[in-house]
Amino acid sequence: MKLPVSLLCAAAAAALSFSAHAQSAKPDLAKGAALYGQVCVACHAADGNSSTPANPMLAQQHPEYLVKQLQEYKSGKRENPIMKGFASALSDDDMRNIAFWLADQKAKTGFAQDKELVRLGERIYRGGIAERQVAACAGCHSPNGAGIPSQYPRLAGQHAEYTAAQLTAFRDGVRKNNAQMTGVASKMNDREIRAVSDYIAGLR
């Protein structure tokens, strides 16, 4: 039996309206805090300022970026068996609530530690590597590492070890969920990756 066109249009409009509502619904920060305390706190610390270099600092990160990463862990687009297990237990609303709660937490400042490499890191971050067409990190992540909401993540203060591990994973084809970053990292050597990662740790 064919449905009248008007009924089909009404159903489509209702679906679009529901989708728009789901995207614009205000996140529940209390639920986000509670879920974070159950699922994330052991690795990322009570306020999102992880003290373990292998685990990223998440406080004050752009919520859209966090939701995207959680969704891609869940789908397998970003591979990590531990994170896939946690993300698979979360709904999209859960992810939004956690992400917006984390965005509301104050990030702690970090420090560059390798004096011999930090100047090289600054040159790469601010000016790129012209002879290999490596773009300046500041162009997307901003001069102070604050990033651009909804587009590019905040980097300032991130553990140098974590940043270096991610750049290496992009370069080596292990992390496959951002073609732009794969293109950038593929042209960098280990020393350059360590240098720019250390410089990023000191941004504020």
- pLDDT (tens place) for every residue of the chain, 204 residues total: 444 434 334 444 444 443 444 455 799 999 999 999 999 999 999 999 999 999 999 999 999 999 999 999 999 999 999 999 999 999 999 999 999 999 999 999 999 999 999 999 999 999 999 999 999 999 999 999 999 999 999 999 999 999 999 999 999 999 999 999 999 999 999 999 999 999 999 999
| pTM of the full structure | 0.87
- Architecture (CATH level 2) of domain 118-201: Orthogonal Bundle (1.10)
* CB of 196 closer than 8 Å to CB of 135: no
Cβ burial 88-123 (10 Å sphere, 16+ → b, else e): eebeeebbbbbbbbbbebebbebebebeebbebbbb
3-state secondary structure of 4: coil
* Rounded Cα–Cα distance for residues 143 and 53 (Å): 23
Looking at the chain, the domain(s) classified CATH 1.10.760.10 span: 27-103, 118-201
Q: Which two tokens stand for residue 130?
A: 């012209």
| Confidence (pLDDT) at 3 | 40
Tell me which of 1.10.760.10, 3.40.50.1240, 3.30.590.10, 1.10.10.10 is the CATH number of domain 27-103. 1.10.760.10
| Confidence (pLDDT) at 25 | 77
